Structure 1
Amino acid sequence: MNKYFAIIAWAYMVFPLPGNTQTPNIDSLLQVYAYQPDDITRFSTLTHLINAFMYRDPERSMAFALQNLALAREIGSEKRESMANFHIGVLFNNQDQYDSAKIYFNQTYQLAMVTGDSSSLLLAINGLAVTNLNMGNFAAADSLNDISIEIYSQRNDNYLLAIAYTMKSQINQKQGNFNIAYNYALKGLRLMKEFDKPVRTADILLQIAVIEQELGNISNAIEHSKEALQIYRAHGDLKYQAQLLGNLGDLFIIQGNYNEALDLLQESAAKADSAGNPSNKAGALNRLGNLYMLRNQYNQARKMLDEGLEISSQIGDLPGKVKILNSLGLFYNETNNPQQAIQNLNQAIRISEQLNLRQDKSKAYLERSLSHENMGMHQLALSDFKTHKELSDSIFASEK
């Protein structure tokens, strides 16, 4: 699977929006904003505008967030400055700029400690947890998220607890603990059904679909993906449309429907571009590369994989990079260049060991065993295959 993802949109946690809809009418918000003085009365409107444009037009959302930060500093409100930093951190995270995101989440945390604002403090912890997850720092992400789970449980805050359970699911899914991940996602979905929050429900359906695919339940994965995609389209959420279109492309490849898969993956890459989300684009390019290999279009495959690798390297998306390196290993094996395959697979193994990506590491050892076999190095091939089998068996055992 491709990079998952930042799935949780924390900005919706900060100021609950009125009524039963996810966001107020954007035109109405803009009219109110146009006539408000540039003072404290604008904070609420700016916050709603940040949320409203976060996945529709990230650049515009960032402009409102920076204005919110400047206004908070101008009037000397550390509490509002803390929240403004948080919003900017979310936007940087959504653009895969994780180092920048961490800077603003740390600012949120430090200001919350000064003001004693427990809500801002918890948001900072959530932000740092999600950023660590996206960077592949799973132990740190899990520890931070467990703090959130404990606090939300004590407060009986089922809405935020549902989101924290979904993140717990993501952390386990990335490490190959699929049954554990599935159970946490179901717990999150049951809690979220208490609320009229269709986009947050779609986030959990997306996570369940990812796990269903990993478990080989393709029909269920398609069903959940289509349900979530319909919600994201209705709310103009480009980032997660891109991710779901990529997931669906994968599922149709498994079913052998290459033409429909091609259309979906090309749309996924285009949506990721529109959303300004390079990790989703790299994931779509990786899938396109694999699809072109299945169609024996190796020049196109190489072009897609090289572009995807460049993007994932530039943004520091190590989990996504591992998947593309494994795909390049397959590409070079299929084009009779096992030495080049081994170079890519060696990198994949190093990174997957560093991040504890057991499934990706297992795939890399399997593909490298084929490289060694093609070179007549039968002992090395056997050794790699045994390591692959041990990893595969350990993943299976942990899922019982």
Structure 2
Amino acid sequence: MKYRILSSIFILFTFCCFSQNSTKIIDSLKQVISFNPKDSVKIKAYSDLCWYYRNISTDSALSYGNRALSLSKKIQNKQGEAQAYNDLGILYYGSAEYPKALSLYQKGLNIRTELNDTLGAAALYNKIGLIYQNTFKLDSAMFYATKALKIYEDKNNIRYSLALKNNIANIHKGLKQYKKALNTHLEIAKINDSLSDYLPLTRSYNNIANAYLFLNDTINSIKYYKKSIAIAEKNNYKKELAAVYNNFGALLQSKKDYVGATKYISQSLVFRKELNDNYGIASATLHLAGLHLDLKDLNSAKEHLYSGLYLSQKINVNELKIDVFDKLATYYALKKNADSVIHYKELFKSLKDSIFSTQVLKEVAEVQEKYNAAKREKEILSQRADLAEKELNLNRKNTQLLGLIILAVVISVLGYLFYKQQKLKNHQLKKEGQLKEALVKIETQNKLQEQRLRISRDLHDNIGSQLTFIISSIENLQYGFKIKNEKLTKKLIGISGFTKETIYELRDTIWAMNKNTITLEDLETRISNFIDKADVSSTGLNFKFNKDESLSKELEFSSVTGMSIYRIIQESINNSIKHGESSKINVDFKKLDNKIEFNITDDGKGFNENEVTLSNGINNMRKRAKEIGAFLNIESEPGIGTRIVINLPFQA
């Protein structure tokens, strides 16, 4: 009886919470806990206390969130544990402690996936994408946002689908694709307006105004900022007011309305401090710093600049760091401190180049296209499933009708009919089994593709960015310190060249990882590009590339086989250039019965295998050929040249 009363109080509290203020709700929740209810009710109360304390006392919110997590683990309540990770992650996200938030979100996602809670997983994909968006890792942001969008569209959840499209549009804005972002925001605003959904509509108007501002249309920008402010003020949306006041103030600053700009940005800062929004505080602080720079109030500008620098580095947001480096360069220019200007200009350029690299833009586009392709594939599978179901129903009706007719005509053939019906049923079960196997195969391929994409993205984001940083550092050393030591200069140039070659090798590896199969045409194109590059870097060297016309361009190899062939040919050409001192190199593809033969011939100085210690390169070539079941033969004669032959069996 006691637990029923507690449950009733808890349900009554849940339905009435929207009409009470946070303090009353918190008191009610504490009263529920004081009755010492069953553990599942305690977990729900702790979780709600964490939520309602988040804007009042972060310490209290963390305390109750950790209680919910500890109790959930103790009684093995997976739903409660996942919710606790989510609530704690939101707290750290709000204070811009993104690494902690990301770790908690990932733990919650693992449990949601284990429980097959697709909507819970979608919410966490969205939150993880927002972290990457705020830290300006836009390829990862696009990856997680599209995963969340796909789930919400599958569930026909219009509101959350619109929210995800809004996030994706903001990613396009971050990549300076302003027209694309604007069109998406206008579409979303139209739907929100028709639904009278004012909170997302406020955000949409703010985003539209931002897009128009980047497109230099200040008239429409002001129009939509005012629309956003009107709705937010009417409904007391403090978080949204903080954002739009900050943006509108920046626009007024650009029009030299410093009084209005100061008013709106200062009010934004007040709201963001109330919300404990570190990202927003840093953004508003940097806007105020810009205002003081325009007004030549250098003391106030310096105070806000270093406050903004501290916060942007603490929360590690690249977008804010770019802004503060740019403003610090301006500040020291006004102070006539040339060394500091150069220092912050270099920091600004280095960070900006790393963010807006061509490869990042390309990978974001690839993620978007893969999402679109998956969506189209799902629609095709759905149509096929509908057709199969209709065909199955038709066959069943025909079977039943046939049975009734035959039963009416003669009972003597009843046994025969039963046999035919059982045979048809077995056939149908076989068909259904084949369909299930096909679906399992498709799901496995999708998981493999996601794993390949994740590995290639990690290679690019981590190793690629580190190699690019090495090249940038070497170039800064060369040009920044004006090194006159010729030997050191050559050494730095050599290191830079080696690093660039490593990047090319990394791109080749990523290219192979992103393909299930490699066609002969892909291989031909890749080798031609490599030959073109080698031709440019080696003067007096003549390359010829020939392919047997009987070989189909659609001939396919596995990604491992294709990459191994490419590496063997690449190593052969490099050896001809570096060691053979060749003036002519021929690369030939031939068809021999059920084999394909690759020939690499040069007119270099050659060598005697019995007299020369074989290099790692040649040993690696033999090893690669053996792994893919190919035969590798090296024919070389001193003074005449070298011929390397690869014979690979294939099915025409």
The verdict on a shared fold, with TM-score over 0.5 as the criterion, is yes
Partner amino acid, structure 1, of 2:32: Q
The CA deviation at 1:107 is 0.6
How many positions carry a matched residue from both structures? 341
Residue 351 (structure 1) aligned with residue 351 (structure 2): yes
Task: Summarize the Cα distance change of 1:62–1:187 in structure 2 as closer, same or farther, 3 Å threshold.
Answer: farther
Higher relative contact order (CA 8 A, sep 6+): 1
1:35 aligns with 2:31: yes
CA distance in 1, matches of 2:334, 2:349: 19
Query: What is the aligned-residue identity percentage?
Result: 16
1:195 Cα deviation (Å)? 4.4
Alignment of 1:1-400 (within 5 A): 23-26=18-21, 29-37=25-33, 38=37, 39-42=39-42, 51=51, 54=54, 61-193=61-193, 195=195, 197-233=197-233, 237-356=237-356
Letter in 2 for 1:205: Y
CA distance in 1, matches of 2:299, 2:94: 32
Distance 1:202 1:42 in 2: 36
CA distances 1:154-192 after superposition (whole Å, capped 9, x unpaired):
222111110000100111111111111112222332333
Distance change >3 Å, CA 272–CA 357, structure 1 → 2: farther
Structure 2 CA distance for partners of 1:178 and 1:115, relative to 1, 3 Å? same
Give the CA deviation at 1:329.
1.8
Would you say the 8 A contact 2:47–2:83 is kept in 1?
no
Q: Could you tell me how far 1:264 is from its partner in structure 2?
A: 2.1
Compared CA separation, residues 223 and 75, structure 1 to 2 (3 A): farther
CA distance in 2: counterparts of 1:162 and 1:18, whole angstroms: 27
Contact 1:159 1:195 in 2 (8 A): no
The amino acid of 1:308's aligned partner reads G
What SS class does the counterpart of residue 336 from structure 1 fall into? coil
C-alpha displacement at 1:112, in angstroms? Answer: 1.6
Deviates more, 1:257-266 or 1:217-226: 217-226
Post-superposition shift, 1:110?
1.3
After superposition, the CA RMSD in angstroms is: 2.9
Deviations 1:79-137 (A, max 9, x none): 22112211221221121110001111111111123222222222221121111111111
- C-alpha contact (below 8 Å) 1:98/1:131 kept by paired residues: yes
- 2:566 is aligned to none
Paired amino acid for 1:34: K
- Say if 1:162 and 1:188, in contact at 8 Å, map to a contact too: yes
- The 3-state SS of whatever aligns with 2:96 is coil
* Rg (Cα) greater in structure: 2
Which consecutive unaligned segments of at least 5 residues does structure 1 have? 1-16, 359-400
Task: Give 1:323 shift.
Answer: 0.8
Quote the Cα distance in structure 2 between the aligned partners of 1:124 and 1:29. 26
Take 1:143 and 1:334, find their aligned partners in 2: how far apart are those partners?
Answer: 42
Would you say the 8 A contact 2:145–2:167 is kept in 1?
yes
1:244 Cα deviation from its structure 2 partner: 2.3
Alpha-carbon distance between aligned partners in 1 of 2:52 and 2:217, rounded to the nearest angstrom:
35
Query: What does the per-residue CA deviation read over 1:307-330, in whole Å, with 9 as the maximum and x for residues that have no partner?
Result: 211211122111101011111222
Q: 1:226-276 CA deviation, whole Å, 9 max, x = no partner?
A: 443455456665444333222121111122211121122222223222222
CA distance 1:74–1:197, change in 2 (3 Å): farther
Which amino acid is 2:29 matched to? Answer: Y
CA contact (8 A) 2:17 2:25 kept: no
Q: What is the rounded CA distance, in whole Å, between the counterparts of 2:276 and 2:237 in structure 1?
A: 12
TM-score (norm 1): 0.76
* Matched residue SS, 1:76: coil
**SS at 2:344 equivalent:** helix
Paired AA for residue 25 in structure 1: Q
Kept in 2: contact 1:238–1:274 (CA 8 A): no
**Secondary structure of the structure 1 residue equivalent to 2:256:** coil
- What TM-score, normalized to structure 2? 0.48
Distance 1:206 1:48 in 2: 30
Question: Is contact 2:96–2:277 with CA below 8 Å preserved after alignment?
Answer: yes
Is the contact between residue 174 and residue 357 of structure 1 (CA under 8 Å) also seen in structure 2?
Answer: no
> Cα–Cα, structure 1 residues 164 and 119, in superposed 2: closer, same or farther, change >3 Å?
same
On the 8 A contact 1:249/1:260 being kept in 2, the answer is yes
5+ long unaligned stretches in structure 2: 1-12, 359-652
Between stretches 183-192 and 245-254, larger displacement belongs to 183-192
